[in-house]
Amino acid sequence: MVCVKQRLELWRVVLAVGLSVVGMCGSADAAGVVEAKFQATDTPRARADDNPKMQAVLDATAWEAGGFEVRCTSTPGLAYDALVRFDSPLPTGKRWVDEVVLVWYAARGEDGKAIEAPAVLMVHTLQPQMLIAHRLAGDFAKRGLHTFILQLPGYGFREEGPGHFPGVTALIHGRQAVADCLRSRDAITALPNIKPGPIALQGTSLGGFVAATAGGIDPAFDPVVLLVSGGDCYGALVNGQLDARFLRQSLDRQGYRGGALRKLLEPVEPLRVAHRLNPQRTWLFSARYDVTIPRASSDALAQAIGLDESHRIWLGTNHYTTLFLLPVVAQQMADIILDERPSPLNDPPDVVGHADPGGQGRAITPADP
């Protein structure tokens, strides 16, 4: 309860400080409290599929389309510009979990004001601080992309409190997480300064499983860019080490093992819908020495999507040292999202990286000393 009370007090402080994002969410009122509200509408999605199993997947994340309210509050003094909130389309009955929160890094012009620009939705990793997502989001914004980080159930302002591991909460509410990702696209399009057109989708590690699943259900996301992620959630948890093992043990303590674990992971299993992703508009960045998301997992997803070598990019890192390549990875991803020609990854080692020695996709490694 202490954590919940502290979070409520923090939220009140944020509201009291007021908004400073001119042209995004409005200006502060006389009381210094600003919350701009926008009306969004769910995009109707195709719910018919000849494959009964695929139909079951679509039905599991379907809800009655309608209008919903999007609330925007700026966050002066923080690295990001605003918080965007709206109701989850598949509520659980838990108040903290059922309010979706997007962290907004705004694209700005040279004068510091928000500009009209394309948008990208990001889904973060297992790590509670969402470090990689925030690093990438800051770089994307500097490249002229309005960037939104979806806080999965159990994370950030959706935290359940002491005794709840956020990764477990996210998977327990996996169906909601995917639905929240789908509705986020419509919420973003209702905001000011968002350039008309497709919303890109980016997911890393755990977030990559959610993003790939959402992208397979809703082909309107374009492009879909995944980092150190894969398919076969069950196999990745059972065979993965480090964070994968930690999450597996945490789920085991909750009684999720064997068949129960497989059932729990179904809503975020991208292999069920990967064939619906466009292989020409999907990219998978994989770490060659990753033991958290094993090679078999990333290979399974790439094969299910039908990715060719130009859309499979290998990093000469493990799951965690990928952090050191984030500036280069962010540049590559931004080029892809902006539909610009990506900087070459086959530069000599003293520049950036080198050609993939295995001949499987392109490779990039930290610069040699």
Tens-place pLDDT, residues 248-257: 999 999 999 9
Distances (CA, A) of 327 to 134, 136, 258, 330: 12, 8, 39, 5
Query: Could you tell me if residue 180 is inside a domain?
Result: yes
What CATH number has the domain bearing residue 246? Answer: 3.40.50.1820
Q: What is the mean pLDDT of residues 321-327?
A: 95
Query: Could you tell me if residue 43 is inside a domain?
Result: no
Global pTM reads: 0.86
Q: Which residue type sits at 67?
A: G
Query: Could you tell me if residue 197 is inside a domain?
Result: yes
**In angstroms, how far is the first alpha carbon of the chain from the final one?**
50
124-145: pLDDT as tens digits? 999 999 999 999 999 999 999 9
Q: Would you state the pLDDT for residue 35? A: 83
- Nearest one of 110, 209, 201 to 167, comparing CA atoms: 209
Query: Could you tell me if residue 347 is inside a domain?
Result: yes
Average pLDDT, the chain: 86
Pair of tokens at residue 286: 């994989």
- Nearest one of 99, 209, 104 to 154, comparing CA atoms: 99
Query: Could you tell me if residue 119 is inside a domain?
Result: yes
The conformational region for residue 49 under phi > 0 = left, psi -120 to 50 = alpha, else beta, is: beta
Q: For residue 53, what pLDDT band results from cuts at 50, 70 and 90?
A: confident
Q: How many beta carbons lie within 10 A of that of residue 137, not counting itself?
A: 26
The span from the CA of 135 to the CA of 108, in Å, is 17
Query: Could you tell me if residue 108 is inside a domain?
Result: yes
Q: What angle do CA 299, 334, 277 make, to 5 degrees?
A: 40
pLDDT of 300 > 50? The answer is: yes
Q: Would you state the pLDDT for residue 361? A: 52
Query: Could you tell me if residue 130 is inside a domain?
Result: yes
Query: Could you tell me if residue 23 is inside a domain?
Result: no
User: What is the three-class DSSP state of 72?
Assistant: strand
pLDDT of 343 > 80? The answer is: no
Where in the sequence is the domain holding 124, given as residue range(s)? 54-364
Q: For residue 12, what pLDDT band results from cuts at 50, 70 and 90?
A: very low
Domains in the chain: how many in total? 1
Reading across the β-sheet that carries 146-150, which strands appear in turn?
36-41, 67-74, 82-87, 99-105, 146-150, 119-123, 200-204, 224-227, 282-287, 312-315, 362-364
